[in-house]
Structure 1
């Protein structure tokens, strides 16, 4: 069909005369347009139904690959330093064991109170009272507060505090008050000592 015939058909073509049932006798440009439109719709439908889903799967796979790569690098670093971690774990276990050995057991608490009393006497202080208070429970240990009431000279109190802090068992000192007892230079001190007991899994 010549180009002039096609143009002539286009001049005579009226949109109102479109009949889907007679598509075979439509002018060539109309049939080409319909074919192109069908192809475009097929591609668009294919994209939204299939290719878009594939793109989403690809994006998820890329994100998962990045996460796996990071995990692999971390585990590779840990594996390369595994021997050092084992050495550090042994050192920590030894340090932990040494600290645990410095915590008094239930049966050793009375002996600890006697040791504190002995430090006070050695320092030249008068011991008014050394009293074990109610236990304070924590997640991993039990805190044992000890109220101490002593009298004596300023330097004697310093020697006493130093002696208690240097005891083999772990004892910490808190919340002290010092007041002048009389004009002779005697002082009265109330101080709280705390020791700790490791909490077993049964408690």
Structure 2
């Protein structure tokens, strides 16, 4: 059916009691305007207030999807995680065994003295310093000063690093006093946080 725009001129003379006799073009335009008005009113009265809720739920849906994907990856690799956990626990247990207990820490001074004198060094100072508590362990610094040659210093540091208990060496300082070389350094050993305290000692 051809749309006759000239019929729209009759809209000003239409009788609303004779809607059935209105031209098709006029009925179409009136229905279109009513549909637009109903759509606009429906949007502002029914939909507009619900949009923030919809946006919140959409964001929540995305977050839930991410959580699901993360949990799915964990579940899919659960066996590998369990095996890795067993390995980590074994490594942690092995490391704990390498940390001296409160009964063993005084013996470390004897061990350090032994490897030092075996390397040809002469001890001038061997002293426990203040303990430093950490979250999972306690740090036990040892300040020492020795006299000897460069070769003896190197042998000594190598022997300290090879001790069965964990001992690290820090803050090297070498000075020459006449014909004598003096090495000052700090060694650190570690004890689990749950272990007892260490009494300080000093050897000169």
TM range (shorter): 0.7 to 0.9
Counterpart of 2:81 (choices 75, 81, 85) is 85
Q: Which of these residues, 86, 94, 99, is aligned with residue 103 of structure 1?
A: 99
SS at match of 2:104: helix
* Structure 1 residue 48, shift from structure 2 partner: 1.2
- The aligned counterpart of 2:188 is 194
Cα distance in 2 for partners of 1:178, 1:35 equals 99
CA drift at 1:90: 0.4
Aligned residues: 184
5 Å matches for 1:8-47?
Answer: 43-47=39-43
Shift of 1:134: 0.6
Change (3 A) 1:201 1:160: closer
Question: 1:143: how far off?
Answer: 1.0
Indicate the structure whose relative CO is greater, using CA pairs within 8 Å and at least 6 residues apart: 2
Q: For structure 2, which runs of at least 5 residues remain unmatched after alignment?
A: 1-8, 198-204
Deviation of the 1:141 alpha carbon: 1.8
- Asked if 1:179 corresponds to 2:175, the answer is yes
How far has the Cα of 1:34 moved from its partner?
11
> Alpha carbon RMSD of aligned pairs, Å?
3.4
1:73 equivalenced with 2:35 (yes/no): no
TM, length-normalised to structure 1: 0.75
Deviation per CA, 1:92-145, whole angstroms, max 9, x where unpaired? Answer: 001111111111112211001110011111111111121001111222221111
What's 2:59 paired with? Answer: 63
Unaligned runs of 5+ residues in structure 1 are 1-5, 11-22
Shift of 1:63: 2.6
- The 1-side partners of 2:31 and 2:175 are apart by 105
Aligned to 2:138: 142
Aligned to 1:128: 124
Structure 1 residues 76 and 36, CA, compared in 2 at 3 Å: closer, same or farther? closer
Report the counterpart of residue 200 of structure 2 in structure 1.
Answer: none
CA contact (8 A) 2:101 2:195 kept: no
- The whole-number CA distance in structure 2 between the counterparts of 1:162 and 1:202 is 29
The alpha carbon displacement at 1:163 in A equals 0.3
Q: Does the C-alpha gap of structure 1 residues 173 and 134 become closer, same or farther in structure 2, counting only changes over 3 Å?
A: same
